[in-house]
Amino acid sequence: MADLYKAILFLNYGLLLSVILLGAARYRILNDKEKQYFHCIAFLFFIELVNFVLPYIFRLNDTSFLYPLYIAGEFFLLTGLFIRKLDLPKYILGFVGILAAGFMISKYSFDYPANADIAKVVSNIIIICLSGFTLIREIKDTSAHNRFLWVDASIFFYYSVSVFIFIIQHQIANLSENDYYVLLSANNILSSILYCSFLYTFIRLKK
pLDDT in tens, the chain (207 residues): 677 888 888 899 999 999 999 999 999 999 999 999 999 999 999 999 999 889 888 888 888 999 999 999 999 999 999 999 999 999 999 999 999 999 999 999 999 988 888 899 999 999 999 999 999 998 888 656 788 999 999 999 999 998 888 887 777 656 677 877 888 888 899 999 999 999 999 999 876
* Residue-wise DSSP of the chain: -HHHHHHHHHHHHHHHHHHHHHHHHHGGG--HHHHHHHHHHHHHHHHHHHHHHHHHTS-----TTHHHHHHHHHHHHHHHHHHHHTT--HHHHHHHHHHHHHHHHHHHHH--SS-THHHHHHHHHHHHHHHHHHHHHHHH-TTS--TTHHHHHHHHHHHHHHHHHHHHHHH-SS--HHHHHHHHHHHHHHHHHHHHHHHHHHHH---
SS3 readout for 52-107: HHHHHCCCCCCCCCHHHHHHHHHHHHHHHHHHHHCCCCHHHHHHHHHHHHHHHHHH
Query: For residues 101 and 127, what is the distance between their CA atoms, to the nearest angstrom?
Result: 17
Q: Is the peptide bond before 55 cis (omega within 30 degrees of 0)?
A: no
Q: What predicted TM-score, i.e. pTM, was given to this entire model?
A: 0.93
Q: Find the radius of gyration of the CA atoms of the chain.
A: 18
